[in-house]
Amino acid sequence: MAKKPKKADAAPAGEPAALRLDVLMHLSDLPGVPGQEDAVREYVLSQLQGLVDDVRVDALGNVIARRAPRDAGREGTERVMISAHMDEIGFLVRFIDDRGFLRVQALGGFDTRNLFARGVMVHTRGGPLPGILTPGGKPVHIASAEERKKIPEVKEFFIDLGLGADEVRAQVRVGDMVTLDQQARRVGNLICGKAMDDRASVFLLLETLRALRHEAPRHEVIAVFSTQEEVGLRGAITAAYGVQPTVGIGLDVTLAVDTPGVGPDEVVTNAGQGMGIKVFDSTMISHRALVDQFWDLAQARGIPAQLEVLALGGTDGAAIQRSREGVPTLTLSLPTRYIHTVVEAVHVNDLRAGVDLLLAYLR
């Protein structure tokens, strides 16, 4: 049954409220690999109090929140599903060896060059255990030149909990969640953390709903905080089927490789230059009329934006687009440096632009 949120504290409408960057950093720090998004879901539910007309959790763990439009009978009113995923890339424990070392199953795409000697947390029923993730093999002091050049596969990594085998087996089970251990922080105009993909978009959606708390939007808004995106857009598939939107908007991160060693034709987006309006990725081609509408809105309102083509990658937008008989859909993309590392970095200007662009459309 849908839960009725409490009313939000009164606050005057007017100029945009300051972004609550502490909320973003807390979201990034929370653990939540695909299928085990519980901590993120509970926090999202707490943040939705007073912001929506009703909210429910479906069978796959998606949070589905609704705002009614200001005039349900108005011509041109749409049922807009906006989806941002709660899960992060991580691991599951798949094997415990006879010395107590853990082997892992990856959930999501990792570049193993970024995984050497990383701190991790193994989330057991009894609580989290700190560990060290590193590949098997010799340290640099005794490795051959050829061995030092090798890039290991995920199956070669193990976790050292610093405990004996009996202690490990008493506390850890196959299937326990493993997350990278990294606290979010601010670096200049960047907010960096282990799970900006896609907690930064979760944050954008929450901030958009907060900005609308004292006014009804032009369109009916169905805000979906989805599960299991990193392993195949699974939560968004079932949510879109049930929601039956007339317009879809995926919210996700995209590459901002505006850094040394990358040619200008490979940058995709630039950090700090506005929200990306996705034209193409390897799972969807955005609906052209929506691309034009959002681009024109950004230009008319002076909201920084950039058109984006991503050669490889996908978002919840693809799941919405292919739902039932098909849904006009686009994805709004947050430029992010160092994607799928523990220092994923988003620019505060792009966060502001993302909220402003969503609000311009919904109002």
Cα–Cα distance measured from residue 52 to residue 4, given in angstroms and rounded to the nearest whole number: 8
Nearest one of 122, 135, 116, 105 to 167, comparing CA atoms: 122
User: Could you tell me if 135 and 156 are in contact, meaning their C-beta atoms sit under 8 angstroms apart?
Assistant: yes
Cα→Cα distances 110→40, 142, 152, Å: 21, 27, 11
User: Could you tell me if 64 and 57 are in contact, meaning their C-beta atoms sit under 8 angstroms apart?
Assistant: yes
Nearest one of 221, 198, 225 to 60, comparing CA atoms: 225
Cα–Cα distance measured from residue 242 to residue 245, given in angstroms and rounded to the nearest whole number: 9
Cα–Cα distance measured from residue 201 to residue 68, given in angstroms and rounded to the nearest whole number: 22
Three-class secondary structure assignment of 221-270: EEEEEECCHHHCCHHHHHHHHHHCCCEEEEEEEEEECCCCCCCHHHCECC
Catalytic residues: 229
